[in-house]
Amino acid sequence: MAVVHLRIDNRLIHGQVTVGWVNLVGADHMICTNDQVAKDPVQKMFLPQAARGIKTSVLSVADTVAYVKGEQAAKEKILIIAKFPEDAFALIEAGVEPKEANVGNQALLPGTKPIHVTRSVAVLPEHAPMYRAIAAKVGKLTYQVMTSDKTQNFIDLMEKKGL
């Protein structure tokens, strides 16, 4: 089955993901992908604990690509949570093909000057082309924080803000 969903959410694993998204997409394996997080032993220990029993991996982008292209992944329904759009873009560029993708939360990062596309998503202008490339590859890129929220076209939301 492989990658059933790609979510871009810089909070990684939290209640909305473990309760809502895992159930909605039917995932049996979550992969948090970000090079810095994968090097952090504290996050590697605590993120799987926050996952509430679902198989969870914390991997670099390269290791995520290698895993997804491996034999075991074909037997799984994987939900990838990319910390930042550049992580998701790198996965797509490396040939990862999720069935669907959405943007959850992208909080303001200190020292940056993003444009708030929604209340919970701050986009740096240089990230807009990455979001467009992800949407083009997957077919669409949605914005939906909680599974009960209305799905919106993320590219349309960016365009309304001049991105």
**Which of the residues are catalytic?**
14
Measure the CA–CA gap between 45 and 37, rounded to whole angstroms: 11
> Which residues contact residue 131 at a Cβ distance below 8 angstroms, ignoring those fewer than 6 apart?
85, 103, 123, 141, 154, 155, 158
On whether the CB atoms of residues 80 and 34 are closer than 8 A, the answer is no
Query: Amino acid letter at 16?
Result: Q
Comparing C-alpha atoms, which of 86, 21, 87, 88 is closest to residue 56? 21
- Strands 121-123, 115-118: pairing is antiparallel
